[in-house]
Structure 1
Amino acid sequence: MEAGGHVPYAAPSRCTRRCGRLATEGGRCDEHRRKAWENRSANDLKLTGADRRRIRKEQLQRESRCRLCGSDVDLQADHIIEIADGGAPFDADNLQTLCQTHHDEKSKAERARRAIQRRSTRG
């Protein structure tokens, strides 16, 4: 501690986008700082367990088989446009029924697409 009981600030860090500028907020310089609408907090996007159960129940009443293969086993209510991508969490038009296999395949492809998108926007 310095005289007077104050803890010194940490040394300034560089922008995580490796542009060489000093970071001002969130590890990024002013130019690379995220906009207010980008990458909403995961906490803002989460549905409660009760929400998920209600959505699943309502969706399976509307559509009781996998939209892709017709299976009626291990069904999931799937957001066509994922919530993380701006899809409406409670809109029936943004829901489809998928079996667990097709749901897993779609989710994996969406994660890969987002990863590629993140890499292509860096710099």
Structure 2
Amino acid sequence: MGRLTAFGGRLQPLAPKVKAPIKVVEPFYQSKAWRELVARIKRERGNHCERCGSTKRVIADHKQERKDGGADLDPANIELLCFDHHQRKTAKARAARALGGQGTGGHQKSGSPSGS
């Protein structure tokens, strides 16, 4: 197959029109209470992903996200995740929220499936 040469160097790649938003950390995650809870959970459970056992970039994450009504400082609502599992879980929760559901990241709230 031949190369297109008629346009020469006149075609330039398009500049991206949408830039990713800058990540802004919520003040809650800088609070003394949150940092102390995370340190305690990592001491008690071990500093590893609770899904795959990885020790790389372990993040304390809310099983039921705060914006979906999850308890802020309840150890039962905290799961230690590696960066990859955290990203997957968060993306799944955002997608569920965008579709009008609660983004629980794969964790059901207690009670009946209909929420009643």
| TM-score (normalised: structure 1) | 0.54
Aligned to 1:91: 74
**Residue of structure 1 aligned with 2:64, choices 71, 76, 81:** 81
Find runs of 4+ consecutive structure 1 residues off by over 6 angstroms: none
Cα 1:103–1:117 change in 2 (3 A) is: same
Aligned to 1:101: 84
| TM-score (normalised: structure 2) | 0.57
Gapped runs of 5+ residues in structure 1?
Answer: 1-44, 119-123
Q: Which SS does the other structure have where 2:49 is aligned?
A: coil
**Residue of structure 1 aligned with 2:41, choices 33, 46, 59:** 59
Gapped runs of 5+ residues in structure 2?
Answer: 1-25, 102-116
Contact 1:63 1:96 in 2 (8 A): no
Q: Which SS does the other structure have where 2:39 is aligned?
A: helix
- Between the two proteins, the alignment pairs up a number of residues equal to 74
Identical counterparts, % of pairs: 32
Deviation of residue 89 (structure 1)? Answer: 0.6
Aligned equivalents of 2:71, 2:89: Cα separation in 1: 17
Deviation of residue 46 (structure 1)? Answer: 5.4
Considering only aligned residues, what root-mean-square deviation do their CA atoms show, in Å?
1.9
Of 78-87 and 48-57, more deviation after overlay is shown by: 48-57
Contact 1:77 1:98 in 2 (8 A): yes
